[in-house]
Structure 1
């Protein structure tokens, strides 16, 4: 039986709710990246600085890691919900934070700094990089807004 959410439980589990959402958000956006850009469009592999075989293996490891994060996030979500501490808006804030943070990390560190792969191998990469990183910033901003609006001090007054 699932307990209904109570203000005390929502405050007590606010951090775990956020971590659950972040893990799910990271896993979800990584899964979408790997499925759409790696498998369907064939734009790049997780690691493109070696052979195609190494690229495929790196995609498989990336895919496995994304599912581990997704499943871990969902297990935490189920636990928080079972304990009556779920604040759905806080969880969605975490999802957006995780998705945006992963995408910004991917777009800046992996694409631009380390150069392990590009979004798409074309002469004019700037539109792709800008779209990728601006989307990440929008996701992060929305996640920050939801997270602030559902912080424990606010939850205890509801």
Structure 2
């Protein structure tokens, strides 16, 4: 089950980071990964962030391919881990990067708290949904093992 979890976590983390970078950095132009310097530094930081997201996504997919090759993939648990990894990244981004480190805000508007609440609420929903799927998968795996013995 641990390989399923890590594969999903890496993939989910990379996927949500990629979506964040593509949507909020590139398409909407709301912020850069690092907004405390020049535009050039912001763009470089976006490029590094983009590379990180792809490394995580591809790493998760390599682990997924290995799970399938070994016939060890537990799809429901893997999807739960994707939600857990993506939600954990989003909550980290919303709390640590936005509020504690203040390297960027989700959007530079007067009433940013609404954006922060929605961002973090979605992250918590993703984490809880992912944990629920992981727990259900673990219980069904244990039940199948108990019946086989």
Question: How high is the TM-score relative to the length of structure 1?
Answer: 0.89
Aligned to 2:128: 141
Give the number of aligned pairs.
144
Gaps of 5+ in 1: 1-13
2:142 is aligned with 1:156? yes
Name segments (4+ residues, structure 1) moved above 2 Å. none
Question: 1:118: which partner in 2?
Answer: 105
1:53 & 1:21 partners in 2: Cα distance?
33
User: TM-score if structure 2 supplies the norm length?
Assistant: 0.95
Unaligned runs of 5+ in 2: 145-149
Equivalent residue, structure 2, for 1:10: none
**CA RMSD across the alignment:** 0.8
Give 1:154 shift: 3.5
Q: 2:12 aligns with which of 7, 25, 35?
A: 25
After superposition, what is the alpha-carbon deviation per residue over 1:90-147, rounded to whole angstroms, capped at 9, x for unaligned?
Answer: 1000000000000000000000111000000001101000000000000001001001
Cα distance in 1, alignment partners of residues 95 and 82 from structure 2: 20
Distance 1:147 1:111 in 2: 28
